[in-house]
Chain A
Amino acid sequence: EDQVTQSPEALRLQEGESSSLNCSYTVSGLRGLFWYRQDPGKGPEFLFTLYSAGEEKEKERLKATLTKKESFLHITAPKPEDSATYLCAVHPTGGGNKLTFGTGTQLKVEL
């Protein structure tokens, strides 16, 4: 069975304090791994897709990396506006269009 585990569940950072969020996954085969940002009361907003181990994607203060067992979302010098829940989802091979989501990491960045 496909599984996605995100850690930590919650993370509190000071503005400018860099850190990483983890997404560990177990799938028979990986077609793609997705990172989303979700603000309270809103739908998930697409951030990145990673397809193969060693791949990296960057957007502003965020960088996503992928290995064969996990993905990291690195946040460099975060600002309060980066506060949100970050969701990881895997698209397994043979899974049709279905994604398996993790429960997310709730990030709060304080001044």
Chain B
Amino acid sequence: DAMVIQNPRYQVTQFGKPVTLSCSQTLNHNVMYWYQQKSSQAPKLLFHYYDKDFNNEADTPDNFQSRRPNTSFCFLDIRSPGLGDAAMYLCATSENRQPQHFGDGTRLSIL
């Protein structure tokens, strides 16, 4: 029944060790988003894909990259995670400018 699926739900990595988070959708939406959310804070948009067009937010660190190999899948790569990157990472999808639908997130911990 889940429409936006994020894996894994919990991810632990070491300081500086690359990590990849994944998101898949069954909604066939053309837009996919990645957000970072820290405790008691608003979700912060990192970047989004409109179809294959990548849109990076100006304040997203270079350490964060993304790939969208097809409509259904999108990946978030963190090249060298620092302690400040510990957060919940949320994937969302939408059809054009319709409401965004979120997955349940991946909780990333950095050792």
Contact = CB atoms under 8 A, between A and B. Distances in A.
B103 A43 contact: yes
A12 to B, nearest CB: 16
Given A41-B107, A43-B90, A103-B40, A98 B102 contact: no
A65 B29 CA distance: 28
Contacts of B55: 96-97
B105 A42 contact: yes
Interface of B: 4, 6, 31, 33, 40-43, 45, 48, 50, 55, 57, 90, 92, 94, 96-97, 99-105, 107
Given A43-B6, A43-B102, A99-B100, 14 more contacts: A4-B42, A41-B107, A46-B99, A87-B42, A96-B50, A97-B33, A97-B50, A97-B96, A98-B48, A101-B42, A101-B43, A102-B42, A103-B40, A104-B42
